[in-house]
Amino acid sequence: CPNVYDNTKIKLQVKFNRKEDKDFFYSTYEHTETEVEKDNKTNVMTCKNIKNKYEVMIEKLKNKKLGVLIVGIGGNNATTMLGGICANSKDISYIDTYDIKKPNYLGSVFLSSNLRIGYNKKNKEHSYCPIYKLVELYNPEHIIFGGWDINNMNLKDCLYRNKVFGVDFIEKIKNDLDYVPLKSVYFKGNFIADNQQLRVNNILVGTNKLEILEKVRNQIKEFKKQNNLNDVIVLWSGNTEKTIPIIEGVNDTFINILGACKNNHVSVSPSIIYALAAILENCPFINSSPQNTLVNAVVELAEYKNVFIVGNDLKTGQTKIKNFLLDFYFGTGLKPKSIVSYNHLGNNDGKNLSSDLQFYSKKISKSNLICDYVKANDNLYVSDDDMNEKNMRSKHKNIKNNDFCKGDSLISTSTDTVEIEKDCAFTDMLEKQKVNSDIVIKYVPYVGDDKKAMDEYISEIFMNGKNTICLYNICQDSLLASPILIDLILLVELSQRVYFKSLKMNDSNEKILCNGNINIDNYVISHDMVSNKYKNFKRMDSILYLSSLFCKSPFNSSVYKTRHSFFSQLESLLNFIRIICDLPTDAHLDLPFMA
């Protein structure tokens, strides 16, 4: 897509007293974490405060050129994001039914929300500022976009097919989206629903999956070269795929998955091919869908190459509200007991999800949230424990399908017991049953992108009373999702320019993927790890946990467990911004007012 507009709306407007040179801004940060040890016999927790000092540097953007390759570029979310960015860039006016409208970036944390920077002594008021005025972000309107789709429809026609924007809007931007998607990765094997078959007319061919992987790498190289880009980010915005089985010797290590590609193993999905290709080309990979693309083999490669990976699934509507409602419940000492989430929609995403296997991936993703809250608030459920444990143990015996992860034949079933067992370890399952939770999604073509969502929350209140809250939400699904795609791109780009030096950093911890070169047949990856070290500074971990705010099912490393609290996800992102701007983190204590 041409992206030639010079837009200077996004620029720094806050002055700091921080060090800088021609390439970097510098700041320092002292972090205190409490190390907790619990004695299970006495139930006593011993706490020790651990301090660590960091030096931080952010690389200046200067003339950096960023490209983004979108998988599923003809889809609703992708074309909505591109149309929105284009309209903002051209600053068009358009008629929306009756009124004249201007474009905006509502729904993007980076481009529309404010952060508290401090306290204004004169006015005795808190001071707030849009994030993009505080930290140097890449202007989305300067990104060079390209991408793949299994359907070869030109994007300007996709805008009409997808039915998100009105006709006047489309007419004003469509020529800027004159682009035919690249040939794509498509494998038989129900990765996406059978009902998508009619779209498949634009695919790469090869004798095996390894050959296809190489072709995708070449497409990325070509895009980078043709557009003279410094960096490329690959974003999966394709249909939800089925959840693939985790198989030892196949997708557990990078070397094994290369072998699996070569042998055309049925579990290697298209999204895994894009992820591997991206990382091998040193491009971060974002998974905006729920499926488990980020298998251990992908993670291992990403960590080895120090390339960022982000997933899974966008937290846009129902789950976003669920997230902060759970903050409200648990934060105020209420006890959720039943959460039922229903929605129907009629876009192509809904059509794909009307197939059991793909629905299963989405269901898992939409259900994940509650587990962590329950674990962190175990004290609320003590009296329920006996009952639940008895119930679940007896159900557990009846589970027939609990080994789906080990085989290839994942079959979606309708009983909750089986689905829960498939998703969680037994202990998690117990946790989960403390709160009944169910997810229903129906495909109703007539409603198109205007998703209708209904939620019922029942919580226990004082003296065993009950409090029921029902929500009815009509939303334009793709308009909620697209700004989050922009945020993820901006976050990953920013994170690529941020380096930390910990005084306690231990360099000897670096992973070694293989000794020397990896050589599978004629496929050679040289051991040319691009070090992310710069003047002894290091980038953050490959698994970019700061993206949790934007993901329904935040993917995290085995070292750090995901924190599902919406408040803590938002604050961790904002504190990250504060740290790199040499501002103190916000403790949310209004001590200056007391002085």
Positions touching ligand NAI (CB under 6 A) are 71-72, 74-78, 148-151, 184-186, 192, 199, 237-240, 270, 288-289, 313-314, 316, 347-349, 352, 477-478, 480-481
**Cα 273 from Cα 184, distance rounded (Å):** 10
By C-beta, is 451 or 539 nearer to ligand DG6?
A: 451
| 335 lies in the site for ligand DG6, by CB under 6 A | no
**Cα 389 from Cα 373, distance rounded (Å):** 18
CB of 389 to ligand DG6, least distance (A): 30
**Cα 285 from Cα 233, distance rounded (Å):** 6
> CA 164: distance to chain centroid?
22
Among 3, 108, 162, 319, binds ligand DG6 (CB under 6 A): 319
By C-beta, is 3 or 77 nearer to ligand NAI?
A: 77
CB of 375 to ligand DG6, least distance (A): 21
Binding at 441: pick from ligand NAI, ligand DG6, none (beta carbon under 5-8 Å per type): ligand DG6
Binding at 318: pick from ligand NAI, ligand DG6, none (beta carbon under 5-8 Å per type): ligand DG6
Nearest to 232 by CA among 485, 23, 492, 499: 492
Among 64, 65, 217, 320, binds ligand DG6 (CB under 6 A): 320
By C-beta, is 75 or 103 nearer to ligand DG6?
A: 75
Binding at 238: pick from ligand DG6, ligand NAI, none (beta carbon under 5-8 Å per type): ligand NAI
- Would you call 534 exposed, middle or buried from its count of C-beta atoms within 10 A (0-12, 13-18, 19+)? middle
Binding at 148: pick from ligand NAI, ligand DG6, none (beta carbon under 5-8 Å per type): ligand NAI
Burial 455-488 (b: 16+ CB within 10 A, else e): bebbbbeeeeeeeeeeeeeebbbbbbbbbbbbbb
Longest CA–CA separation in the chain, Å: 73
3-state SS, residue 227: coil
| 343 lies in the site for ligand DG6, by CB under 6 A | yes
Q: HSE, CB side, 13 Å, CA atoms: give it for residue 133.
A: 13
| 438 lies in the site for ligand DG6, by CB under 6 A | no
**Cα 183 from Cα 93, distance rounded (Å):** 34
CB of 316 to ligand DG6, least distance (A): 4
Within 529-568, the residues that bind ligand DG6 by CB under 6 A are: 552
Phi, psi (degrees; rounded to nearest 5) at 411: -120, 125
Phi, psi (degrees; rounded to nearest 5) at 347: -85, -175
Among 477, 496, 564, 574, binds ligand DG6 (CB under 6 A): 477
Binding at 231: pick from ligand DG6, ligand NAI, none (beta carbon under 5-8 Å per type): none
Contact range with ligand DG6 by CB under 6 A, out of 105-113, 150-158, 220-228, 345-353: 345-353
CB of 538 to ligand DG6, least distance (A): 33
Question: In Å, how far are 48, 80, 214, 521 from 184, measured between CA atoms?
Answer: 53, 20, 12, 24
What DSSP string describes 471-499?
EEEEEEHHHHHHHHHHHHHHHHHHHHTEE
Among 172, 422, 451, 497, binds ligand DG6 (CB under 6 A): 451
By C-beta, is 131 or 314 nearer to ligand NAI?
A: 314
Q: Which residue is nearest to ligand NAI (CB)?
A: 75
**Cα 318 from Cα 404, distance rounded (Å):** 28
Binding at 210: pick from ligand NAI, ligand DG6, none (beta carbon under 5-8 Å per type): none
| 242 lies in the site for ligand DG6, by CB under 6 A | no
| 315 lies in the site for ligand DG6, by CB under 6 A | yes
**Cα 595 from Cα 592, distance rounded (Å):** 5
Q: How many CB atoms lie within 10 A of CB 381?
A: 18
Among 345, 371, 494, 570, binds ligand DG6 (CB under 6 A): 345
| 64 lies in the site for ligand DG6, by CB under 6 A | no
CB of 433 to ligand NAI, least distance (A): 26
Question: Which is it for strands 66-71 and 144-148: parallel, antiparallel or unpaired?
Answer: parallel
Q: Are 552 and 319 in contact (CB under 8 A)?
A: yes
Within 364-393, the residues that bind ligand DG6 by CB under 6 A are: 366
Among 241, 303, 349, 455, binds ligand DG6 (CB under 6 A): 349
By C-beta, is 88 or 347 nearer to ligand DG6?
A: 347
Look up tokens 């301090």; give the residue: 51
Among 76, 316, 459, 495, binds ligand DG6 (CB under 6 A): 316
| 193 lies in the site for ligand DG6, by CB under 6 A | no
**Cα 289 from Cα 275, distance rounded (Å):** 13
Q: Residue 123 corresponds to which tokens in the numbers above?
A: 């006015």
CA angle, residues 132, 322, 347, in degrees to nearest 5:
80
Binding at 343: pick from ligand DG6, ligand NAI, none (beta carbon under 5-8 Å per type): ligand DG6
Contacting residues toward ligand DG6, per CB under 6 A: 315-320, 343, 345, 349-350, 353, 362, 366, 441, 451, 477, 552
